[in-house]
Structure 1
Amino acid sequence: MTRLTGHALRVTVFVGEHDTWHHKPLYSEIVHRAHAAGLAGASVFRGVEGFGASSRIHTSRLLSLSEDLPVAIVVVDTEERVRAFLPQLDELVTEGLVILDDCEVIRYAGRDGVDNPDEPDSKGKSSL
């Protein structure tokens, strides 16, 4: 398990949910590459409304013609590891926004028994 505390770098990638890479969702490709690169973690968040460089508003409201909702992929790790990952993002993200933020990791802990879901967690309860 990766240990991560203290100073870190957060990279956030904003793309559309219908953006693809070789017929797969772009956000999924980014997450899988981050995992393969051994980064501490990545999460994808779907927005309900937004706009970007195209100035076209994308919304989930009914009766809207736009369904290509905004998606944010957030990755946090040490500065060295995040910066080493940036060339992959440069390759993948042809339209969108990539930002870097300094951050401080206060707690980074996985669940006990993740490798064996039948093991009790730290509170003595079995995971579902």
Structure 2
Amino acid sequence: MTEPTKLLRIYTDEGAYLGDRKVLNVIALRAREAGLAGVTVLDARLGFGSSAHMHRRHVFESDRAVVIEIVETDQRLRTFVEGLEDIPDIGLITLEKVEVIGGSGLKAMLEEGE
């Protein structure tokens, strides 16, 4: 039986930093280093979270809300999230069940594990 496939979403800000590096870059690099199937960073035109601060792109600054998506097996995603605990104020993190129905990347990896 194949392990459940999940979609991890991390909601953060384009202007969020960990030291001198953007949080979205740190997360993408860590995902690659962890050998996860892939990562996608999506820019939002507009958004706000618990702070109610409205995030949008301005002429001289980049303060858009971003969503980082990763599709992978449940356990690998949970392990990955545990490794993000050193990032303060990362934002909301969600995990939901997905069904992979096409494409060559993750589907092929999952079928090899059967």
Q: TM-score range by the shorter chain?
A: 0.7 to 0.9
More helix by share: 2
RMSD: 2.2
Unaligned ranges ≥5, structure 1: 111-128
Deviation at 1:67, TM superposition (A): 4.2
User: How do residues 117-128 of structure 1 correspond to structure 2 at under 5 angstroms?
Assistant: none
TM-score, length basis structure 1: 0.72
**Alignment match of 2:65 (pick from 70, 78, 85):** 70
Aligned pairs, number: 104
- Bigger shift: 49-58 or 83-92? 83-92
The residue number in structure 2 matching 1:50 is 47
SS of alignment partner, residue 9 of structure 2: strand
Deviation at 1:61, TM superposition (A): 6.3
- Bigger shift: 89-98 or 19-28? 89-98
TM-score, length basis structure 2: 0.80
Bigger Cα Rg: 1
CA contact (8 A) 2:42 2:67 kept: yes
Unaligned ranges ≥5, structure 2: 106-114
Q: Which runs of at least 4 in structure 1 moved beyond 6 Å after TM superposition?
A: none
What percent of counterpart residues are identical? 31
Deviation at 1:88, TM superposition (A): 1.6
SS of alignment partner, residue 90 of structure 1: coil
Q: Distance in 1 between matches of 2:37 and 2:88?
A: 21
Structure with larger RCO (C-alpha < 8 A, sep 6+): 2
| Equivalent AA in structure 1 for residue 31 of structure 2 | A
Cα deviation code 1:70-118 (max 9, x no counterpart):
01100110111111111122322524111111111112425xxxxxxxx
SS of alignment partner, residue 98 of structure 2: strand
